[in-house]
Amino acid sequence: MSGDKTAKSARERVLEVAGDLFYREGIRAVGIDTIIARSGVAKMSLYRNFASKDDLIVAYLQACSGNFWRWWDRVTTPFEGSPRALIRGLFEALLVKVNRPGFRGCPFVNTATEFPTPGHPAREAALEYHRELRSRLTRIANDLGALRPEALADQLVILMDGVYASAGTFSSPEAAAAILAAVDALVDAQVPTR
């Protein structure tokens, strides 16, 4: 472990430790002193890299966003050219993701819940992720030929957030089947019959 500490920059160590703590314990529950102690960096090093806790939170969410979009690309690439299969494949992969050990919800939904004040940098970073998610789903809905692509995208975002929120209490094979049936029903309702 000490080899990892010396190989990583102070910024990387702080971000890694803060990200783990923020995700597991909640952003507001984690203090800067805890992050400093666990990362092994000096307070001055932390503030040289992150001017405030808000800056650290935004950097954490940017890292989460990058990880999420890399995951998205990996799970959707096999379905390129087939928007219906892509939507279903995305939700199938999401169901696998939320049932992994250590899953504690969507970091963006969690953050938006912890920071309800409009304009707060953490909330804005979480909303930026949701705007990009809606944009990508709208493009897929357009490719699908949905009657109301924006409405379908909104419905899929809400369903995705519901999957995140209910993962800890609603994670049976029957629940997964119900979620996939809901995905199919939403898509079927938007695709014109020929």
Task: Say how far apart CA 173 and CA 150 lie, in whole Å.
Answer: 30
Domain spans of the chain?
1-50, 51-190
Percentage of the chain exceeding pLDDT 90: 86
What architecture is the 51-190 domain classified under in CATH? Answer: Orthogonal Bundle (1.10)
Dihedral over Cα of 152, 158, 159, 164: its sign: positive
What architecture is the 1-50 domain classified under in CATH? Answer: Orthogonal Bundle (1.10)
User: Is residue 65's pLDDT more than 80?
Assistant: yes
pLDDT (0 to 100) of residue 194: 58
Task: Say how far apart CA 38 and CA 36 lie, in whole Å.
Answer: 6
What is the model's pTM? 0.89
Least confident of 3-7, 25-29, 62-66, 148-152: 3-7
**Among candidates 53, 31, 166, which has minimal Cα distance to 109?**
166
